[in-house]
């Protein structure tokens, strides 16, 4: 049950409103982490290349529409992971840019970067270079393979880690079925999960910092993340010695738990225990199956999967999708539709939870973003700024935070440093 809201009062500042994050990351994993921190109130200063910015700014179409309904050059991909941040431009490959980055790091509590191993150290921006001037700095590096080991120098992408980390070996239709073969997940899940782990690690380091005053170094690797993500399958392998295989939409230890065709579409049937199976059989008009020794218990249903599933498949085709969903939900049998993205946001529960947020954008119109799933009762997530234009906050950061004059800033612009 959702707790009752406390009496109306002035909103509290976000739990990380006292934290400044210097975000030297780009694309997805690092920006996912920094957006989480920004949603929790942190001031996130996103450092981007002059004239180009984060790679994902150019990953369109689709593009954001302006107030007149025309395409801008702000990509939907960039919008998805950069809200609540400030954007500055800075050339980190130049000595003056590196000096400015050190000034910013000295005024920050957290730094996030996802450069190849050793790159920022060559710029004088590694953890060892910055911690003396800021012992409380939490420095989070996100790389493909981590900071050490034989693969550390290699670049890496999500698709590679879905394969290397074992996920694709258990994702896709099972052998012997039409379309059998390994399959990647439809989003860059390794990047997203690494961003989540990085967020958690940074929060832990912030608690340590507030107790001791000391920062620390965080080494997040996409390969490590994907292996950790597969933990339940991996530990099953450790215990049994049997290498997990692909099950398609089925489940290795739960039956029936897969997608079934109905008279007019498909639904997910997820029967997690014997009571639910008996309820399913009752409303499906096949109560005798629940008393059949081959199917009465989960362990027997697993053993006799090949006999049971065709029987259920035939029954499921006799009614329409919505009729099944309403009937099964009324009987407390877990089930659900397979929605496309339009249908997701037509769903009444999704609408009630307000999972779409439209934020005013500096180019006019509104930037649509997906709401944070973090729901805090006292310090809720605030949607303060739309994903920024490239260099939108140069004036605020360089003049307000670092104290540079208008002339200084013009000179830096003329030299291509910012």
Return the pLDDT at 368.
96
User: For the chain, what percent of residues have pLDDT higher than 90?
Assistant: 94
Return the pLDDT at 12.
83
Query: Can you tell me the distance from the alpha carbon of 285 to that of 94, in angstroms, rounded to the nearest whole number?
Result: 73
Give domain status of residue 400, yes or no: yes
Place of tokens 């954007």: 87
Same domain, 223 and 265: no
Give tens-digit pLDDT for 208-239.
Answer: 999 999 999 999 999 999 999 999 999 999 99
Same domain, 115 and 209: yes
Q: What is the CATH number of the domain that holds 208?
A: 3.40.50.10540
Give domain status of residue 242, yes or no: no
Q: Which domain holds residue 381?
A: 20-229+354-414
Give domain status of residue 64, yes or no: yes
Same domain, 193 and 282: no
Query: Can you tell me the distance from the alpha carbon of 296 to that of 275, in angstroms, rounded to the nearest whole number?
Result: 10
Return the pLDDT at 130.
98
Same domain, 171 and 284: no
Query: Can you tell me the distance from the alpha carbon of 98 to that of 113, in angstroms, rounded to the nearest whole number?
Result: 14
What is the DSSP secondary structure assignment for residue 180, as one 8-state letter? B
Give the closest residue to 189 by CA, choosing from 163, 154, 219, 226: 226
Same domain, 223 and 285: no
Same domain, 218 and 367: yes
**Which tokens is 263 given?**
């008279």
Same domain, 406 and 328: no
Which residues does residue 75 pair with via DSSP β-bridges, in sequence order? 63
Same domain, 188 and 294: no
Return the pLDDT at 253.
86
Same domain, 130 and 205: yes
Same domain, 313 and 364: no
Place of tokens 């997906």: 370
Give domain status of residue 15, yes or no: no
**Which tokens is 269 given?**
């049937």
Return the pLDDT at 355.
97
Contact 417, 96 (CB under 8 A): yes
Which residues form the catalytic set?
Answer: 191
Give domain status of residue 377, yes or no: yes
Same domain, 303 and 368: no
Give domain status of residue 59, yes or no: yes
CA angle 358, 360, 365 (to 5 degrees): 90
Same domain, 209 and 271: no
- What's the predicted TM-score (pTM) here? 0.91
Domain count, the chain: 2
What is the DSSP secondary structure assignment for residue 67, as one 8-state letter? T
Give domain status of residue 6, yes or no: no
Return the pLDDT at 252.
84
10-residue mean pLDDT profile of the chain (418 residues): values are: 55 91 97 98 98 95 93 96 98 97 98 97 97 97 97 94 97 91 96 98 98 98 98 95 93 93 95 96 96 96 96 97 95 95 95 97 95 96 96 97 96 96
């Amino acid at each position: 049950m959702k707790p009752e809201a406390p009496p109306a009062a002035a909103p509290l500042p976000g739990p990380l409103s006292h934290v400044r994050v210097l975000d030297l990351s780009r694309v997805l994993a690092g920006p996912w982490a920094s957006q989480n921190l920004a949603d929790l109130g942190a001031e996130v200063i996103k450092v981007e290349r002059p004239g180009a910015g984060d790679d994902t700014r150019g990953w369109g179409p689709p593009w954001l529409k302006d107030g007149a309904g025309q395409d801008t050059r702000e990509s939907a991909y960039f919008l998805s992971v950069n809200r609540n941040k400030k954007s500055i431009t800075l050339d980190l490959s130049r000595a003056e840019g590196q000096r400015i980055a050190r000034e910013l790091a000295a005024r920050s509590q957290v730094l996030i970067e996802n450069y190849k191993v050793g790159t920022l150290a060559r710029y004088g921006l590694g953890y060892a270079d910055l911690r003396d001037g800021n012992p409380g700095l939490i420095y989070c590096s996100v790389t493909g393979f981590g900071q050490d080991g034989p693969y550390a120098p290699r670049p890496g992408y999500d698709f590679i880690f879905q394969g290397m980390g074992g996920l694709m070996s258990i994702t896709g239709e099972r052998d012997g079925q039409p379309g059998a073969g390994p399959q990647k997940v439809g989003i860059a899940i390794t990047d997203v999960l690494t961003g989540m782990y990085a967020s958690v690690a940074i929060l832990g380091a912030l608690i340590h910092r507030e107790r001791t005053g000391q920062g620390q170094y965080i080494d997040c690797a996409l390969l490590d993340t994907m292996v950790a993500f597969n933990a339940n399958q991996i530990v099953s392998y450790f215990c049994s010695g049997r290498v997990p295989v692909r099950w398609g939409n089925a489940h290795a230890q739960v039956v029936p738990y897969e997608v079934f065709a109905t008279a007019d579409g498909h639904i997910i049937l997820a029967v997690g225990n014997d009571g639910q199976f008996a309820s399913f059989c009752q409303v499906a008009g096949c109560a005798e199956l629940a008393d059949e020794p081959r199917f009465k218990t989960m362990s027997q249903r697993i053993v006799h999967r090949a006999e049971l599933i065709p029987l259920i498949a035939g029954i499921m085709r006799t009614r329409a999708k919505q009729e099944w969903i309403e009937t099964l939900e009324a009987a407390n049998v877990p089930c659900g539709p397979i929605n496309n993205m339009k249908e997701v946001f037509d769903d009444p529960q999704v609408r009630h939870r307000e999972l779409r947020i439209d934020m005013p954008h500096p180019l006019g119109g509104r930037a649509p973003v997906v709401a944070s799933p973090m729901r805090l009762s006292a310090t809720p997530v605030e949607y303060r700024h739309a994903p920024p234009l490239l260099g939108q906050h140069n004036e605020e950061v360089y003049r307000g935070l670092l104290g540079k004059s208008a002339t200084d800033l013009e000179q830096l612009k003329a030299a291509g440093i910012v």
